[in-house]
């Protein structure tokens, strides 16, 4: 039972353009979401998070949007840079208050120069 889904395995965009990575979830009790970026042979690096009391959070080139009614969130990267090429994971914090994270399968972003 995949509670967090990233339906696009890969995405390719041109440098300078916008990258939009999508994530869907099934459990309406999820109230905190995070995006992580991962390079090969490294651990995930925290990028940005959002609480369910908000619908948008922005940090520099990264913005996360949350649509609770659709159980959907997205990560926007503007402008995209070649160094953004990595695997991006969406995660939800378990509502049972342990803080364990439930991850999507990941989306591989390639930004072409």
Partner 1 sequence: NAGVMQNPRHLVRRRGQEARLRCSPMKGHSHVYWYRQLPEEGLKFMVYLQKENIIDESGMPKERFSAEFPKEGPSILRIQQVVRGDSAAYFCASSQQGPETQYFGPGTRLLVL
Which residues contact partner 1 by CB under 8 A? 4, 6, 32, 34, 36, 41-46, 49, 89, 91, 93-94, 96-106
Please report how close the Cβ of residue 106 comes to partner 1 at its closest, in angstroms. Answer: 5
How many angstroms separate the CA atoms of 37 and 46, rounded? 7
CB burial of residue 113 (10 Å; 0-12, 13-18, 19+)? exposed
Measured from the CB atom, the residue of 15 and 103 that comes closer to partner 1 is 103
Please report how close the Cβ of residue 98 comes to partner 1 at its closest, in angstroms. Answer: 5
């Amino acid at each position: 039972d995949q509670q967090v889904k990233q339906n696009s395995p890969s995405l390719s965009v041109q440098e300078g353009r916008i990258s939009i990575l999508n994530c869907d979830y099934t459990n309406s009790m999820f109230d905190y979401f995070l995006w992580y970026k991962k390079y090969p042979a490294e651990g995930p690096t925290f990028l940005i998070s959002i609480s369910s009391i908000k619908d948008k959070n922005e940090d520099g080139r990264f913005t996360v949007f949350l649509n609770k009614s659709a159980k959907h969130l997205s990560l926007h990267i503007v402008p995209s840079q070649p160094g953004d090429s990595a695997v991006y994971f969406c995660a939800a914090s378990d509502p049972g208050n342990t803080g364990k994270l439930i991850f999507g399968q990941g989306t591989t972003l390639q930004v072409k120069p």
